[in-house]
Amino acid sequence: MTTPARLDVPRFTALLRDELGLDLTDRDLDTPFDRLAGWDSVMLLRLLGAAEPLTGRRAPMIEVLEATDLRGVHLALIR
């Protein structure tokens, strides 16, 4: 069994860039989804698919769906 990688903010923003093509900084994580340029709901599914192998567990879907921005998604993923 491998140890899950830590999904800190720099790694999370790198994941957004590498997997979704979003060039965001940690300050952009607080932008509501409806004001985030280029964001759509399919990206959330792609993000979760890429993040789960890094966290070593399934994403907590209720917490993720309740998130209003990427910071909320990140916090849900690392809890």
Q: Give the chain as a DSSP string.
A: -PPPPP--HHHHHHHHHHHH-----GGGGGSBGGGSTT--HHHHHHHHHHHHHHHTS---HHHHHH-SBHHHHHHHHH-
The whole-number pLDDT of residue 4 equals 56
The CATH label, of 1.10.1330, 1.10.3470, 2.30.29, 1.10.1200, for the domain at 9-78 is 1.10.1200
Predicted confidence (pLDDT) at residue 18 exceeds the cutoff of 90: yes
| Residue 48 identity (one-letter amino acid) | L
Q: Report yes or no on whether pTM surpasses 0.75.
A: yes
